Amino acid sequence: MTSDDSMTQRIKTLLRSSFGFLLAAVFLIVAFRGVDFPDLWDSLQAVDYFWIALLIPVGLLSHYVRAWRWKYLLGHVKKDISTRNLFSAVMIGYMVNNVLPRVGELIRPYVAGKLEGFSKSTALGTVVIERIIDMMSFFVILSLVLFFVPGSLGVFMEDIQAVRPLFLLGSVAGLAIFTLLFFKSESLVRSIRIVLKLVPGRHRTKVEGVFESFVSGFRVGAMRREFLRIGLLSVIMWGLYALALYVPFQAFEPIAAAHLDFSAAVILLTLSTIAFVIPVPGAFGTYHSFLKFALVSMYGIDEVTALSFSIVTHELGAILVVITGIYFFLKDHFKVSEVSLETSTEKPVQS
């Protein structure tokens, strides 16, 4: 990459980051609009922080399960990969995401590759397939929750029973696609290879080289023996994410009095997942406004408590990620210059 190309990429990164911070500011304004700050402070002081403290082990365990699942996705790349090293990569990547949205997904395979001695491009392929697995597994879980507890959508539609069978159908379809992903992935790879023939000759060799390295991480067919483990760990991981929203229900008296069940936590998890997809640093603003909207409009919680809930759960998660990420960053002897180089030479993974 020439100096001009490097400068152009840095400008693009700066503009993308500036847009993300601007978007975060807009959503924060939406979230805090109309809220009386003295009342909000009183609400934050009234929180039972015993329940909030329980989120620390739940949060760390959920991230560890993601690293554990990633080990099976990388099993065909290298045997006996250290789950500890993958956990380090996950936490450092999440830490970077709090500043540069999605860029952490580039840092994660870089860290894992450096610690374990395999190609970053190979690891990046598994990050992409991991996102697909995340999407499909959570879609199945959400569809089942909405089928068994359709009342969660009562605020959006009157005749819920009429659409209830669609949720069951959606869960079956999602499970089928999830299965096909493992057992028919070769067809997808063949299709992409055909498209590569359209690349101009002078660039084709380089592009095909990168693609082959990428495919070595994307070969889900090589993971068929781990299908059940990957599926089970996906369910456990999403269950822990939902638990991290269910446990703090007990910390807020108005929410505890509303007797929200675990299905409500899954609905909030859906909205928080969307909030993290939007390209803002660490979902600041998007998370707060989305969860406040859901708690107020869907479950009748007052605005102050709803905002207080979103602040406590989000900020604890962000602080936990930053502290753990910094710990591993220093422990594994990485440098800021390395991260800066990665962010300035690559494009973020799209969710």
pLDDT per position as a tens digit, 271-310? 999 999 888 989 999 999 999 999 998 899 999 999 999 9
Other Cβ atoms closer than 10 A to 229: 15
310 belongs to a structural domain: yes
Which pair of tokens denotes residue 131? 């996102």
Tokens at residue 306, please? 């709803």
* 169 pLDDT tier (thresholds 50, 70, 90): confident
Inform me whether the pLDDT recorded for 320 exceeds 80: yes
Q: Give yes or no for residue 187 having a pLDDT over 90.
A: no
Residue 6 has a pLDDT of: 56
Kindly state the tokens that stand for 321.
């990620």
Cα distances from 197 to residues 121, 206, 209, 210, in angstroms, run 21, 12, 13, 14
4 belongs to a structural domain: no
Q: Could you tell me where the DSSP H helices lie in the chain?
A: 3-32, 37-45, 49-53, 55-73, 83-97, 104-116, 120-148, 160-183, 185-196, 201-218, 227-246, 253-257, 262-277, 286-297, 303-331, 336-345
Helix (H, G, I), strand (E, B), or coil: what is residue 49?
A: helix
Does any domain span residue 241?
A: yes
Q: Is residue 8 part of a domain?
A: no
Dihedral of CA atoms 177, 181, 182, 187 in degrees, nearest 10, equals: 130
The closest alpha carbon to 248, from 304, 317, 294, 296, belongs to: 317
Q: CB neighbours (10 Å) of residue 343?
A: 22
The answer to the question of residue 2 being in a domain is no
Q: What is the pLDDT of residue 322?
A: 96
307 falls within a domain = yes
- Mark 101-133 as b/e (b = at least 16 C-beta within 10 Å): bbbbbbbbbbbbbbbbebebbbbbbbbbbbebb
Of residues 231, 232, 235, the one with CA closest to residue 220: 231
Q: Is 30 exposed, middle or buried (0-12, 13-18, 19+ CB in 10 A)?
A: middle
Q: Is the pLDDT of residue 162 over 80?
A: no
Quickly count: other Cβ atoms within 10 Å of residue 28's Cβ.
17
Its domain, for residue 44, covers 14-345
**222 has a pLDDT exceeding 60:** no
The position carrying tokens 């483990």 is: 229
Our CA angle for 199, 183, 71, nearest 5°, is 85
Confidence grade of residue 115 (pLDDT, cut at 50, 70, 90): very high
User: Does 350 fall in a domain?
Assistant: no
CA–CA dist 132, 141 (Å, integer)? 14
- CA–chain centroid gap for 157, Å, is 28
Identify whether 7 is part of a domain: no
Q: How far apart are CA 145 and CA 264, in angstroms?
A: 9
Q: 282 — alpha (psi -120 to 50), left (phi > 0) or beta?
A: left
Handedness of CA 109, 111, 112, 117 (dihedral sign): positive
The mean per-residue pLDDT over the stretch 245-252 comes to: 97
Radius of gyration of the chain (CA): 21
State the DSSP string of 228-285.
HHHHHHHHHHHHHHHHHHHGGGGGSHHHHHTT--HHHHHHHHHHHHHHHHSSSGGGTT
Question: pLDDT digits over 35-53, tens only?
Answer: 999 999 999 999 999 999 9
Count of structural domains within the chain: 1
Once rounded to an integer, what is the mean pLDDT over residues 258-265? 92
Say which range, 42-46, 262-266, 338-342, has the weakest mean pLDDT: 338-342
8 Å CB contact between 237 and 62: yes
Question: Percentage of the chain with pLDDT > 70?
Answer: 78
